[in-house]
Structure 1
Amino acid sequence: MLRILKNWSERYFSDEEAVYLLVVLLAAGLVILFFGGMLAPVLAAIVIAYLMQGLVAGLERRGMRRLLAVNLVFTLFLGLLVVTLVVLLPMVWRQTLLLVQDQLPHLLKNGETWLRQLPEHYPEVISMEQVNSIVAVIQRQVAEAGQGVLTLSLSSIPNLVEVMVFLVLLPLLVFFFLKDREAIIAWMMRFLPRRRRILDHVWHEMDDQIANYVRGKAIEILLVGSVTFIAFLLL
């Protein structure tokens, strides 16, 4: 057993760069595991800044200065954030209330009528007692869900302060991660060994795969959103 473990360790960890990679992955995992909630704004800002870096790099390739490109991309991000908070969230809230107050009772009534017709057409499959039991369960669940939605308000959210802090910190962190990206990366590189061929290879490959994933998701969102919009417009 000891010989097997020794051969396995010599095979995979004989190169010190593999050890460095393992240490970096373990450290990142432990930080997220134990401090993920506390560092949520930082982690979210890192992800958003990473995704927006592509736009900044594209503007730089077209001759724009980096600071101006960062300001333009960050203004776009702020605009989308404000539209989401001011326009989309109230709209979703109103539609949810409309669904619970008006549409859901109507749908429930039609569904109950359809269920009560089943014993007449399929008496050997379902009985009226089973239908009554199903209807009672559905009515109870819908009443509980509707009560929960209607009683939910900002004053009842215990983590309102955390949400506000998150909304304030997130844009600031995104801006500084974009603006000082090179300085932050240079500072982080000080803690890594100078000989890091494997780390650089893993990072470049991961960077390419994440970029491909983001582009694919953007195309998917565009296609699904367009088809869904057209379908609902026709309906």
Structure 2
Amino acid sequence: MLTFLSDWYKARFSDPHAITLVLILTSLALLLYFAAGLLAPILVALVLAYLLEWPVAQVARIGVNRTTGASLVLILFIGLVLLMAFGLVPSLWKQGAALITDLPSMLDKGLQTVTVYSQQYPQFISQEQIEAMILELKKLLDTEHLLDFGRQLLGYSASLLVLMVYAILVPLLVFFFLKDKQELIASSKRFFPSKRDLARKVWFEMNQQIFNYIRGKVIEIVVVGVASYIFFAVMDLRYAALLGVLTGFSVLIPYVGATLVTLPIALVAFFQWGFSSEFGYLMLGYGIIQALDGNVLVPLLFSDAVDLHPVLIIAAVLVFGGLWGVWGVFFAIPLASLVKAVINAWPNDQQQTQPKLDSE
């Protein structure tokens, strides 16, 4: 057994380039795991820099220097974000407040419906179960619980300071990442070992994949969110903007997000129309949007950049989401692609013996 492990270790880790790759990946993983909170502004700035690199490069192609191009693109991006924030956030706030206000009446209607079905089908749900549900709902809507929830919300007011810091630091970091891209990459090379051909190969593959993924994911969020909002508004569904935004952001979590956001949409439609033709048309249209997203939009945006089995994607969401929270969920697919790229690039027995055969 020890001989087998020794042979396996020599076969897989005898290449110094492979050792360098392992050290780099391990160092980055430990850094993100233990210092992700401190590095959060830098991570946000890197994501935005990847997103804005393409327009900056296009502006540079027409003869504009990179500093001017980065400034123009960043100003336009900040203006667009502010326009969306001031135009969308008030509407979302009003609809969220209206949803909270209507929640008791919606729950009453739901309980009445459940009571009717329990009388028609007592073998599936009993009166005791309904009474237990009512008791739990009363506890949930109890004044003390609501006050506790309010105190928790007030506790999050400190996050406004964090947002102010982000609003100052992140644009500055994005500007310098875009302006001094080549200088930063060149200066960072001195911190890595010289024998890094394998790491360079993996980096070239992942750099393009991460860029395509971030750009494609942002486009997917916008397209799905806008299409869902338009459909909900045409159907005259209540809280259309709020549910449209939730549907757009649900694409951040592959497969799981669409399942989670379906529940509030179905509940709002049910409380508004009941089991009627409007409810059926809404769920049918929502299903068509999800089908077009999964079968047309995703292959068009990501092409072969995300060549992973759905089981691997869900596993990556669970693993990396558990390690790094929201960022782990967002980068689950690129991280899974990184693992795949490392496995594909890792030297095997045939690759190590091939130079010997060629020399003979």
Aligned 1:132-171 pairs, distance under 5 A? 132-143=131-142, 147=147, 157-171=157-171
Cα pair distance change 1:154/1:76, threshold 3 Å? farther
Q: Note if contact 2:16-2:195 (Cα within 8 Å) is conserved in structure 1.
A: no
Structure with max Cα Rg: 1
Shift of 1:180: 1.5
Aligned 1:16-31 pairs, distance under 5 A? 16-31=16-31
For 1:125 and 1:74, the matched residues in 2 are separated by 58
Amino acid at match of 2:52: M
What is aligned with 1:234?
Answer: 234
What is aligned with 2:126?
Answer: 127
Q: Note if contact 1:97-1:150 (Cα within 8 Å) is conserved in structure 2.
A: no
Q: Note if contact 2:20-2:195 (Cα within 8 Å) is conserved in structure 1.
A: no
1:59 is aligned to 2:59: yes
For 1:194 and 1:119, the matched residues in 2 are separated by 72
Shift of 1:71: 0.9
Cα pair distance change 1:153/1:141, threshold 3 Å? closer
Shift of 1:153: 5.3
Cα pair distance change 1:156/1:54, threshold 3 Å? closer
For 1:202 and 1:109, the matched residues in 2 are separated by 57
Q: Deviations over 1:119-150 (max 9, x none)?
A: 32123333322212112223433457755665
Cα pair distance change 1:90/1:53, threshold 3 Å? same
Between 196-205 and 86-95, the greater mean CA deviation after superposition? 86-95
**Number of residue pairs matched by the alignment:** 234
Shift of 1:58: 2.1
What is aligned with 1:13?
Answer: 13
For 2:187 and 2:45, the matched residues in 1 are separated by 18
Shift of 1:46: 1.6
Between 4-13 and 85-94, the greater mean CA deviation after superposition? 85-94
Q: Note if contact 1:53-1:178 (Cα within 8 Å) is conserved in structure 2.
A: yes
Cα pair distance change 1:117/1:221, threshold 3 Å? same
Q: Deviations over 1:72-124 (max 9, x none)?
A: 211123224434554434433332221111x2122112112112212321233
Aligned 1:66-215 pairs, distance under 5 A? 66-83=66-83, 85-101=85-101, 103-143=102-142, 147=147, 157-215=157-215
Between 135-144 and 206-215, the greater mean CA deviation after superposition? 135-144
Cα pair distance change 1:6/1:155, threshold 3 Å? closer
Q: Note if contact 2:67-2:179 (Cα within 8 Å) is conserved in structure 1.
A: yes
Q: Note if contact 1:97-1:149 (Cα within 8 Å) is conserved in structure 2.
A: no
Stretches of structure 2 that go unaligned for 5 or more consecutive residues are 236-360
Cα pair distance change 1:56/1:154, threshold 3 Å? farther
Q: Deviations over 1:146-200 (max 9, x none)?
A: 5566556567534443332233211111111111212211110122244532222
For 2:88 and 2:23, the matched residues in 1 are separated by 42
Cα pair distance change 1:57/1:180, threshold 3 Å? same
Q: Note if contact 1:70-1:179 (Cα within 8 Å) is conserved in structure 2.
A: yes
Q: Aligned to 1:123, what secondary structure does the other structure show?
A: coil
Shift of 1:15: 1.6
* Structure possessing the higher relative contact order (Cα contacts under 8 Å, 6 or more residues apart): 1
Between 168-177 and 153-162, the greater mean CA deviation after superposition? 153-162
For 1:219 and 1:172, the matched residues in 2 are separated by 24
Q: Note if contact 2:52-2:73 (Cα within 8 Å) is conserved in structure 1.
A: yes
Q: Deviations over 1:34-76 (max 9, x none)?
A: 1111111112112221221122112222333212210121112
Q: Note if contact 1:45-1:173 (Cα within 8 Å) is conserved in structure 2.
A: yes
Shift of 1:17: 1.2
For 2:38 and 2:132, the matched residues in 1 are separated by 46
